[in-house]
Structure 1
């Protein structure tokens, strides 16, 4: 039973490490793209279009 509690105490550190690794792996290529001014503008426009389209679709789907 003590082994169970040892593993349970290690879980928050494991979860934190996995989340940090996920975000670093996901966003590192994006930050490399944003170093170029032309790509930064294109990325901003595409992100705005995707968020706006998703918002509009969800709004129409839910009837709000």
Structure 2
């Protein structure tokens, strides 16, 4: 039974490590892309368009035109 409590105490650290690993592996290609000036400009434009599009879609869905 003491093994159970030891594992339970380790779980928050494990969960934190899983989240950090997920974000590092997800955003690593984006960080590599941002090193090049031309790619950085294109990435910024694409992200801006996506955010504006999502904002407009949510605005239309909630009838706040």
- Same fold? TM cut 0.5: yes
Query: Structure 1, residues 2-61: CA drift from partner, whole Å, max 9, x if none?
Result: 333222111111111101101110111101011110000000000000011011101111
The CA distance in 1 between the partners of 2:59 and 2:38, in whole Å, is 32
Matched residue, 2:56:
56
**Equivalence map 1:1-64=2 (5 Å):** 1-64=1-64
Q: What TM-score, normalized by structure 1, do the two folds share?
A: 0.89
Q: What TM-score, normalized by structure 2, do the two folds share?
A: 0.88
Structure 2 unaligned residues grouped into runs of 5+: none
Structure 1 unaligned residues grouped into runs of 5+: none
CA root-mean-square deviation: 1.1
Q: How many residues of Structure 1 are paired with residues of Structure 2 in the alignment?
A: 64
SS in 1 for 2:61: helix
Q: Which runs of 4 or more aligned residues in structure 1 lie more than 2 Å from their structure 2 counterparts after TM superposition?
A: 1-4
